[in-house]
Structure 1
Amino acid sequence: MIFYEPGRHKDQGFRHDPFKAFVSPRPIGWISTVDADGRTNLAPYSFFNAMSFLPPVVVFGTGTKPDGSPKDSQRNVEATGEFVCNIVSEALKEQMNETSAHLPHGDDEMAKAGLRGAACQKVRPLRVAAAPVALECRYLETVKLPSWNEPAGNYAIFGEVIGVHVDPAIVEDGLVDVTRYRPVSRLGYFDYATVTEVFQMMRPD
């Protein structure tokens, strides 16, 4: 076995720290928010997952700008108390990647990527109309995480899911079929993957 301490991967011949390759695949939280003036922001986060079921809670992790100031998603969520997590299908992978570009504050990544927004039921941010699933979320809290690059920081942002939009085309016999929309996940480096097949295992008890 190869052993290395985080941050010292090159001692063992790794060109880049493979941590994110190990913790994979990771679902992508495509987070849409609005600022205090109602301007839309859309950005993908690969540090994202569901944390509980009753009630459903999701979390996404974000860094800051080099000077420690928050990125637009964090700023908007904390200011408005709302966000939407759009699930990325394989058909939307290029648009998702387009929205990862760093645009000036106030610019609309959704429009720039050629995406149409749709109104939500319980929150103000638009959802991505073409997304197969969109989770309307109420902001819960922000947890500050350690940082090796201060003043830049790392934060985990939690939200409770209070509404769900589902494309009926991905539902069969009352169950969601992920192979119908092939959710995109992040691996290590610049690698991605999609879900193309599934298998079942029942719990022993």
Structure 2
Amino acid sequence: MLVDYANKELTQKYQLMAQTIIPRPIAWIVTQNEEGLLNIAPFSYFMGLSSEPATMMVSIGHKSDGSQKDTLKNLRETKKCTICMVDEAHLEAMHFSSKELASNESEAAAFNIETKEIVEGFPPMVAGIPSAFFCEFYQEIDLKGSKTIPLVVEIKAQFIDDEIISDKEKITLDYAPLARVGKSYALLGKNITPPTIK
């Protein structure tokens, strides 16, 4: 079967991409508005972009009424975010936080998500997660004709839970982050070591 994307509706294209571009890491993004209200929302159109500058990209859509999501609004205003990598222990809270709330409501309060201040000047991270990136707005990408806004953020600092560091000298990490696979979530399976290239 060859699928011509020109003949597919937006939802069909999303379903095809979401089921074949897998697994997708989840960026659980914490932002604050100018009054300090916390917003915590998950995004799975997310990836590392470059090591120099150390950047990641996340694509942010709009609310059901067409207005911009609070994450996008807050990042445009404050230029700061904290991206938390989600483990199995936080699956339920992360999933619930995808529910659309009014702009004057915080997921932290609505879903009892505990947060922790780590880096001054950045939003707090979700407490108990294995790793978090403290990022600054770097660039917004204009996708002509799209309501999705890809944002590039630059990593300024990273928190790593000592419990997941298996080799402190090499900073080797051993943990099981959640990923999105189609409409479901998954943990990565067994690791496969490639053969040595001669």
TM-score (norm 2): 0.89
How big is the shift at 1:54?
Answer: 2.2
Counterpart position of 1:78? 76
Match for residue 165 of structure 2 among 151, 165, 171 = 171
* Greater than 4 Å deviation, 4+ residue runs: none
Q: How many equivalent pairs are there? A: 193
Distance 1:47 1:114 in 2: 25
2:156 to 146, 151, 162: 162
Could you tell me which runs of 5 or more consecutive residues in structure 2 were left unpaired when the two chains were aligned: none
CA deviations over 1:174-205 (Å, ceiling 9, x no partner): 31012xxx2111111x2221124212226737
Query: Does the residue aligned with 1:145 lie in a helix, a strand or coil?
Result: coil
Cα 1:106–1:202 change in 2 (3 A) is farther
Deviation at 1:134, TM superposition (A): 0.6
1:38 aligns with 2:36: yes
The unaligned stretches of length 5 or more in structure 1 are none
Paired residues of 2:80 and 2:122 also in contact (CA < 8 A): yes
User: RMSD of the alignment, in Å?
Assistant: 2.2
Shift of 1:81: 0.7
Q: 1:21-170 to 2 correspondence within 5 Å? A: 21-66=19-64, 68-147=66-145, 153-170=147-164
Instruction: Give the letter for the 1:140 counterpart.
Output: Y
> In the alignment, is residue 197 of structure 1 matched against residue 197 of structure 2?
no
SS at match of 1:83: strand
Q: Secondary structure at the match of 2:191?
A: coil
> SS of the counterpart of 1:144?
coil
Deviations 1:103-128 (A, max 9, x none): 11021102322221111314331110
Deviates more, 1:84-93 or 1:120-129: 120-129
**Structure 2 residue identity aligned to 1:171:** I
